[in-house]
Structure 1
Amino acid sequence: MEPVEVNRADVLEGLPHGFLGRRGGVSEGDVAGLNVGHGAGDEPERVARNRALAAGAVLPGARLVTVYQVHSADCVTAGADLWPEADRPHADAIVTDRPGLLLGILTADCAPVLFADREAGVVGAAHAGWKGAIGGVTDATIAAMEKLGARRESIAAAVGPCIARASYEVDEGFRDRFVADHPVNACCFDEGRPGHYQFDLEAYVLGRLRGAGIGSVQGLRLDTYSAPQQFFSFRRATHRSEASYGRQMSLIGLP
């Protein structure tokens, strides 16, 4: 078994964090590698083993905290009283100021975003699909961090592996929804075949972060769709008519 691959962001240097892919892990078949998604049709024992490997690659000994992701703009706070795995809150972002907790977000083309205010000792993780992104999931994460003492000008945020502009074709109605929200969003779309556009999800999320006053932002520019040996991708699996698709995990915590 190959080792777990951990992609890290310069703006989060020195903090336990990582954007993982499919390398490492024990799953087989269409979801071979480090699949951490229970909804992928994988054996539960393999998913549990992969999650342990993922957490151990970033912050050994920490307690992994996840949510039941629903493409919302909702954020929850992980505090002293944590929810059981079987009763995870429906949300798409988590924040904490508790050492020893490791926040995990699952993706398979959507954008994972990791946040940290080193001075305040507050971290966050968000799942930004297009619905959550335009709905304000990153804004909700920032607001929740501020309630724990963070300051947005001191927050660093990184956007990890997600589907890239060249791989993400959308129709005109999709583009119109974003442009109607704010005309500046037109810069995130390139014209494609008639009636279609190529959408840059990472650029959109980075723009939301900068617009919110975040002190330091970074995009890793890693395309999940075009790297089948490195990342899982919902859209790629769909185009290939594969029976299932895996999920990768992005993690951040406080030691």
Structure 2
Amino acid sequence: MGNVVDLGHGVRAAVTERAGGVSTAPYDSLNMGLGSGDEREAVLANRRTAAAGLGFDADRVVWMNQVHSCDVLVADAPGGVGTCDAVVTTRPDLVLGSLAADCLPVLAADGEAGVLGAAHSGRLGTAGGVAVRLVEEMVRQGARLDRISVFLGPTICGSCYEVPAEMQAETARLAPEAASTTRQGTTGVDMLAAVTAQLRGAGIGRLEADGRCTLESPELFSHRRGAPTGRFASFVWRS
């Protein structure tokens, strides 16, 4: 299991890794993604293992049907919240989950107000500002901007995420900081840089990043490194 991060007022965030599950290749082994092509029972067993390791019940988790949108939903019950790429809750017993295998997980909390948020920011979500949409909904639910802490999970870095020049230009038109140059000298996208700039611009002062590149970190799933593959989960919850 990955490191647990303290977001203040009893709120925790964590990212799972590949090891410790029951899934077989190419999903080996702690695959958390039901939509990955893996056996359903294996994924559900992995989710129970991860939850137990982090100290909460798997039945408390809220999962999104992620589609690379900028839509935000409010969860008032565990289980599937619906089709969205960001979710907010004010219920103290719920755990919010976000799945990824190169995209950027965003975990946020105003622990004092009891408002939690999680998002999945892929290239399209990053361009559309899904992380800022998440924060805006948190404020509508009672969070205060100056109290929100954000943890950004691992993601493919701007030196590895090569995209065609037109795709980079399309992304950078909406998120200028996303434009990067890869190690090969080709056009790339840096989702971490873009989302960091967006959140800073929105007024978020407390911002921490995992910093690992999924493609370069064999302990994490990476779609670019080898598809089909599993998904790691990023969680935010009140302990």
* Same-fold call, TM cutoff 0.5: yes
User: What is the CA–CA distance in structure 1 between the aligned matches of 2:48 and 2:182, rounded to whole Å?
Assistant: 43
Deviation (angstroms), 1:12: 5.4
The answer to which of 164-173 and 97-106 deviates more is 164-173
Post-superposition Cα deviations, 1:23-58, rounded to whole Å, max 9, x if no partner, equal 221111111111011122221111101111222223
**TM-align CA RMSD:** 2.0
Unaligned runs of 5+ in 1: 239-243
| In structure 1, distance between residues paired with 2:6 and 2:164 | 34
Matched, 1:249 2:238: no
Supply the AA of the counterpart residue of 2:190: D
Q: Distance in 2 between matches of 1:205 and 1:192?
A: 21
Distance (Å, rounded) in 2 between the aligned partners of 1:93 and 1:40:
19
Q: What stretches of structure 2 of length at least 5 have no aligned partner?
A: none
SS at match of 1:249: strand
Are residue 27 (structure 1) and residue 27 (structure 2) matched? no
Alignment CA distance shift 1:43-1:191 (3 Å)? closer
Work out which of the residue numbers 180, 183, 190 in structure 2 matches 1:189: 180
Residue 67 of structure 2 is aligned to residue 76 of structure 1:
no
TM-score where L is the length of structure 2: 0.91
Are the counterparts in 2 of residues 16 and 58 from structure 1 also a CA contact under 8 Å? no
| 8 Å CA contact retained: 2:88, 2:137 | yes
Query: What is the CA-CA distance between 1:13 and the residue it aligns to?
Result: 8.4
One-letter identity of the residue aligned with 1:24? G
Task: Report whether the alignment pairs 1:163 with 2:160.
Answer: no
Instruction: Provide the rounded CA distance (Å) in 2 between the counterparts of 1:16 and 1:178.
Output: 31
Residue number among 216, 220, 226 corresponding to 1:231 in the alignment: 220
The equivalent position to 2:102 in structure 1, one of 86, 99, 109, is: 109
CA displacement at 1:153 relative to structure 2: 1.4
1:190 CA drift (Å): 2.1
Contact 1:11 1:217 in 2 (8 A): no
SS of residue matched to 2:64:
coil
CA distance in 2, matches of 1:84, 1:222: 29
Match of 2:62 in 1: 65
Equivalent positions of 1:85-96 (< 5 A) are 85=80, 88-96=81-89
Deviations 1:69-104 (A, max 9, x none): 00000111112xx3754xx41101111111111111
> Which residue of the partner structure matches residue 241 of structure 1?
none
> What code does the residue aligned with 2:177 have?
N
Contact 1:192 1:198 in 2 (8 A): no
Indicate conservation of the 8 Å contact 1:59/1:253, yes or no: no
Q: Mark the CA change 1:121 to 1:10 in structure 2 (over 3 Å): closer, same or farther.
A: closer
TM-score by length of structure 1 reads 0.86
Partner of residue 179, structure 1: 172
1:52 is the counterpart of 2:53: no
Paired residues, number = 238
How far residue 192 of structure 1 moved from its aligned partner, in angstroms, is 5.7
Deviation at 1:14, TM superposition (A): 4.5
Letter in 2 for 1:205: V
Q: CA deviation at 1:254?
A: 2.1
Distance change in 2, residues 1:98/1:191 (3 Å)? closer
The residue number in structure 1 matching 2:212 is 222
Measured after TM superposition, the shift of residue 227 of structure 1 is 1.7
For 2:3, give the aligned amino acid.
N
Q: 1:202 aligns with which of 192, 196, 202?
A: 192
Out of 119, 126, 131, the residue aligned to residue 124 of structure 2 is 131
Greater than 4 Å deviation, 4+ residue runs: 10-14, 191-194
Q: Distance in 2 between matches of 1:13 and 1:170?
A: 40
C-alpha distance in structure 1 between counterparts of 2:139 and 2:171, whole Å: 27
Q: Which has the higher strand share?
A: 2
